[in-house]
Structure 1
Amino acid sequence: MTKPPRKPSKPLLRDDAPVRSRPRRQRDPAQPNLPFDPMPDRIEPCLALLKSKPPKGDDWVYEIKWDGYRLSVHIEPTGIRILTRSGHDWTHRFPAIQQAALWLPVGSAILDGEAVVLDEQGRSDFGLLQQSLGGRGGKKTSSDAIFMAFDLLYFDGHDLRNSELSMRRHLLNDLVPAGDQRDIRLSEEIEADGDQLLASACEHGLEGIIAKRRDAPYRSGRLGDWLKIKCVQSDSFFVVGYEKSTAARGQMRSLLLAARKGDDLVYVGSVGTGFKEKDAWALREMMDSITQKTPAIKYAGRRKNIVWLQPTLIAELEYRAWTDDGKLRHASYKGLREVQDNAAVYELDDIR
């Protein structure tokens, strides 16, 4: 298959008006069968591998890193399905994205992207997204979330996963035009030097950038075709306990955190900042329902008044670095991840 030009002079899907699939009619028995691919019920997402610096070379293209919930939007003959990273159906929670998908000029498609809520400066804000959904475990629908589409995996009867990224983006750019301000928007590729783009992203308070191999197919899992380079490190950790306090918000001084190491959990420090008063009390209520007598980690610290918890809550944190003894430095609480989001808890073998 020949590679399309990066900036096609003529859109693929439109001439004077959007192209829509015609109504079905009976097939002529004399007509040969066309090789359509069955539409996958669900696709495991391609995940970005954490790196400390952007890669070099023309083989890579860049995008802004969005801070939200990874979703896939399925446009099917029977309607729209919006699935989380772990395959839970959240269509009802994103009615604006569902409606926007209905208007796309395509009969069937699977879009890969991120649901985000933007702040006043146009930056994605995970905390605002959580608030719009009613917090962790909340049942609210979000009218503020938009979908930033960055890949097209299936398109009108054709599975695109074996096509290279540049081909998939060529089709996606026509389906979701750059600059469109509706509730499904294009996460635009940026032709730039990686180091300069990262510096600019950090200067503007963004989370970081994503680098993708231009000629790579879509492969599920964390295999290195996509890389993430962060301005401020942000990862997920188990909450394994909290330290009581009569003065602090929610009457808790800090949360005790753990990361994975193989099949074990390892204590990686605590976080005592970033809590809003309303969120702190809601978090305390959730934690008091999952207490246990013994810690889920080996703990040799000197903190007093610790309440140990079952390791079921996953907190998203920002932090600056790691100490020499493997603890988080300058950590700040951002919120709890949803179980359905299938957030990956930090592995201590990851790059630091």
Structure 2
Amino acid sequence: MRLKFIEPLTPTLVEKPPEGDGWIHEVKFDGYRSQIVKDAEGVRIFTRRGLDWTSKYRDLAKAAAELEVESAIIDGEIIVLNDKGKSDFAALRKAITRRQHDLYFVAFDLLHLNGHDLRDMPLEDRREILAEMIPEGGRIQFSQALPGEAKAIFHLVDLAGLEGLVSKRKDSKYRSGPSTNWLKAKCYAIGEFDLLGVEREAGKPAFALMAERGTGRYVGSAFITLNREMRERLWERVQQHAGAAPKGMKRPATQWVKPGLIGRVKHLRGEEDLRHASLQDFREER
């Protein structure tokens, strides 16, 4: 029987991980959500949206073919590790085209096995079967649950500079689409970005529009949380550095600035663009 791609279950973003014994907690990896499908016709690897990227993941497909099962659908994340052992999204993009041997597939759920649909089984049982399927030390690895209390685990994950935590109900079934049976709590990072301008409208919060350093690529807005004195100093600098809008950007309530102002922004870790971001400080480029 030819198996088909199954739309993945997507976790709900929360401020902090849930407490209690009914959950397991795993590291949230910074990679591409993917699905391995193995059947009599061979191995296929799909993206989160169901695109067949098997040709881009040749080494991982070869590793999946060696799993001692007739057929399976495995949910996981394709990652690359940096020299500190952390998943690195920027390096992942390069590795897909240049360094296939650096790719890993971290498996965290099993949806189908040898002709049986497992999605109605409790998560704990699915993961127990999955763990036994995957040999140690290979390109395909099992995502281990982290022991301890959720608050302590999240603190350690943050200290380690990891993206965050995914918490899953132990007894939950697998259902495609958004779900509150899986919750993701992300850690925050602080980075520097080029300030493009400040958006101010009467009766609304003020936002700083930010770009990636050196490239000018717009990455999103950051809520201005500075104290009154710093806000006044920022607005003074913005007026002194007034400039034209970047090409293609039309935002009528924005005061644009010339290059040279750098913002220090707190934002969710592991996102390509700024999310839940706030401006912490700013400086002029020396």
TM-score class, shorter: 0.7 to 0.9
Question: Against the structure 1 CA distance between its residues 301 and 54, is the aligned structure 2 distance closer, same or farther, given a 3 Å change threshold?
Answer: same
Counterpart amino acid of residue 60 in structure 2: I
CA contact (8 A) 1:93 1:141 kept: no
Specify the alignment match of 1:201 in structure 2.
157
Give the secondary structure class of the aligned counterpart of 2:165. Answer: strand
Q: 1:71: how far off?
A: 0.3
What are structure 2's unaligned runs of at least 5 residues? 198-205, 219-245, 260-270
Q: 1:145: how far off?
A: 1.1
Cα separation, 2, equivalents of 1:164 and 1:233 = 34
Give the secondary structure class of the aligned counterpart of 1:218. Answer: coil
Counterpart amino acid of residue 188 in structure 1: Q
Deviations 1:175-210 (A, max 9, x none): 014xx1211000111231000001111111111111
What is the 5 A alignment of 1:155-304?
155-177=113-135, 180-232=136-188, 269-273=208-212, 280=215, 295=250, 298-303=251-256
Question: Against the structure 1 CA distance between its residues 293 and 119, is the aligned structure 2 distance closer, same or farther, given a 3 Å change threshold?
Answer: closer
Specify the alignment match of 2:200 in structure 1.
none
Deviations 1:200-252 (A, max 9, x none): 11111111111000000001112201011111269xxxxxxxxxxxxxxxxx9
Give the secondary structure class of the aligned counterpart of 1:53. Answer: coil
Q: Does 1:121 align with 2:80?
A: no
Deviations 1:77-99 (A, max 9, x none): 11110000111111011111111
What are structure 1's unaligned runs of at least 5 residues? 1-37, 135-139, 235-251, 257-266, 285-290, 307-314, 332-352
Q: 1:54 aligns with which of 10, 14, 17?
A: 17
Q: 1:58: how far off?
A: 0.8
Deviations 1:23-55 (A, max 9, x none): xxxxxxxxxxxxxxx664111111111111111
Question: Against the structure 1 CA distance between its residues 255 and 99, is the aligned structure 2 distance closer, same or farther, given a 3 Å change threshold?
Answer: farther
Q: 1:299: how far off?
A: 3.8
What's the RMSD between the two structures over aligned residues? 3.0
Q: Does 1:149 align with 2:88?
A: no
Cα separation, 2, equivalents of 1:103 and 1:54 = 36
Give the secondary structure class of the aligned counterpart of 1:182. Answer: coil
Specify the alignment match of 1:349 in structure 2.
none
Cα separation, 1, equivalents of 2:248 and 2:163 = 38
Cα separation, 1, equivalents of 2:213 and 2:83 = 20
Moved over 4 A (4+): 252-256, 291-294, 328-331
CA contact (8 A) 1:108 1:156 kept: yes
Cα separation, 1, equivalents of 2:210 and 2:137 = 37
Deviations 1:297-323 (A, max 9, x none): x441111589xxxxxxxx81356x544
Question: Against the structure 1 CA distance between its residues 46 and 274, is the aligned structure 2 distance closer, same or farther, given a 3 Å change threshold?
Answer: farther
Q: Does 1:93 align with 2:56?
A: yes
Question: Against the structure 1 CA distance between its residues 45 and 188, is the aligned structure 2 distance closer, same or farther, given a 3 Å change threshold?
Answer: same
Question: Against the structure 1 CA distance between its residues 294 and 122, is the aligned structure 2 distance closer, same or farther, given a 3 Å change threshold?
Answer: closer
Cα separation, 2, equivalents of 1:208 and 1:90 = 26
Question: Against the structure 1 CA distance between its residues 301 and 193, is the aligned structure 2 distance closer, same or farther, given a 3 Å change threshold?
Answer: same
Counterpart amino acid of residue 48 in structure 1: P
CA contact (8 A) 1:92 1:141 kept: no
Question: Against the structure 1 CA distance between its residues 48 and 69, is the aligned structure 2 distance closer, same or farther, given a 3 Å change threshold?
Answer: same
Question: Against the structure 1 CA distance between its residues 150 and 49, is the aligned structure 2 distance closer, same or farther, given a 3 Å change threshold?
Answer: same
Give the secondary structure class of the aligned counterpart of 1:98. Answer: helix
Cα separation, 1, equivalents of 2:272 and 2:102 = 21
Cα separation, 2, equivalents of 1:143 and 1:205 = 24
Cα separation, 2, equivalents of 1:83 and 1:121 = 28
Give the secondary structure class of the aligned counterpart of 1:316. Answer: coil
CA contact (8 A) 1:113 1:150 kept: yes
Cα separation, 2, equivalents of 1:203 and 1:44 = 33
Give the secondary structure class of the aligned counterpart of 1:224. Answer: strand
Question: Against the structure 1 CA distance between its residues 254 and 322, is the aligned structure 2 distance closer, same or farther, given a 3 Å change threshold?
Answer: closer
Identity rate of aligned residues, in percent?
A: 35
Deviations 1:134-191 (A, max 9, x none): 5xxxxx57331110000000000001111110110111010014xx121100011123
